[in-house]
Amino acid sequence: MSQPITTIPIDPQSHKLPSRRFTELFKRDAVRLVTHEGYTFKAAAVAVGVSDRSLRNWHQQFTPAGAPCGPDANVDQLQDEVRRLRRQLKGAELEREILKKATAYFAKKSS
């Protein structure tokens, strides 16, 4: 005998799922699955019942940026720092482009 399927009510106007609010403790625990328990983002998201994107946002929010390497760092540490800084730069450049487009859009709308 199979279990009955539970349906989640969808807003008929927007066809979206109702938004859910999660506590900071819940978010930190979900991130801990990735950072300390070795889960992939996808596996951790499925385990706690959230989207992969939400979990990645929480990870970015609650995981501190890596510390810069010291003068006595080895090659592997320097390469890790270069990768981290490149990811950070790419994110900042993307954010800047989005803000430029938003500024142009709103300037055009207001005139």
Give residue-wise pLDDT tens across range 26-49.
999 999 998 888 889 999 999 999
Percent of the chain at pLDDT exceeding 90: 29
Asked whether the predicted pLDDT for residue 12 surpasses 80, the reply is no
State the pLDDT confidence band at 86, using cuts at 50, 70 and 90: very high
Closest CA to 20 of 43, 51, 57, 64: 51
- Ramachandran sector of residue 97 (left: φ over 0; alpha: ψ -120 to 50; beta: rest): alpha
Structure tokens at 12: 């008929």
pTM: 0.50
Cα dihedral 77/81/87/91 (nearest 10): 150
Q: Are 12 and 19 in contact (CB under 8 A)?
A: no
Residue-averaged pLDDT of the chain: 83
pLDDT digits (tens, 9 = 90+) for 61-78: 988 777 778 888 899 889
Structure tokens at 15: 């066809």
